A and B are shown apart, each in its own frame.
Chain A
Amino acid sequence: RKEVEQDPGPFNVPEGATVAFNCTYSNSASQSFFWYRQDCRKEPKLLMSVYSSGNEDGRFTAQLNRASQYISLLIRDSKLSDSATYLCVVNRDDKIIFGKGTRLHILP
């Protein structure tokens, strides 16, 4: 089993809809969690850190469930510009592990 797993998608979602991604991690010692966004042929960029209490940034909400070892990302009122690959990232000790990413296409 991979240490960080994501549904690769693609998720094809109409503009304005709400979309949710989940990511599971296998090592309970994992310490910090992030969502990165990567546009086609570009480098990854941090979207949000993920905290145990959950956190929200505008249309984006991230949550962490340590008991079930998953993190989630919710995008409300999706925009065409949200089309990208969303990478789940888990930090354990000094090791940073990226998921394969979930591709999102927002349809006009």
Chain B
Amino acid sequence: GAGVSQTPSNKVTEKGKYVELRCDPISGHTALYWYRQSLGQGPEFLIYFQGTGAADDSGLPNDRFFAVRPEGSVSTLKIQRTERGDSAVYLCASSPREDREQFFGPGTRLTVL
């Protein structure tokens, strides 16, 4: 079956712009996670959804970052007033429940110039 998909695969933007990153989880997976990964680092947790609600958003670095999952399936990560330090690969993962294997999407490589 289809895995986790993320769009776009690459996004180049200018400092100060707004971006949206999309994640389509595996059908039926209730848990959805966003991570950010910089070169040479492990994935850094950003936010976790259980269904439509954000069960844990403690990893969001500041209020420029926001994520939604309005219908409990597709999720969008939104970054306002992008900064060069936001450049990273943004990974989305889904899981049938929070203590089970996570299936990752291919990521969106964000470059802020």
Chain A contacts to B: CB under 8 angstroms: 8, 31-32, 34, 42-46, 49, 87, 91, 94-101
Contacts and interface: CB of A to CB of B under 8 A. Distances in A.
A94 B55 CA distance: 8
A57 B102 CA distance: 19
A44 B35 CA distance: 11
Contacts of B48: 94-96
Contacts of B58: 95
Contact of A95 (B40, B42, B56, B107): B56
Interface in B27-45: 33, 35, 40-45
A98 B56 CA distance: 16
Given A43-B91, A100-B41, A94 B98 contact: yes
B106 interface: yes
A interface majority secondary structure: strand
Contact of A100 (B42, B91, B98, B106): B42
Contacts of A8: 40
Interface residues of B, number: 23
A15 B42 CA distance: 26
Q: Which of A44, A97, A98, A100 has the largest number of chain B CB atoms within 10 A?
A: A44
A101 B98 contact: no
Given A44-B43, A87-B42, A96 B104 contact: no
A43 B106 contact: yes
Nearest to A103: B40
Contact of B99 (A31, A45, A100, A101): A31
B39 to A, nearest CB: 10
Contact of B42 (A43, A46, A94, A99): A99
A34 B99 CA distance: 10
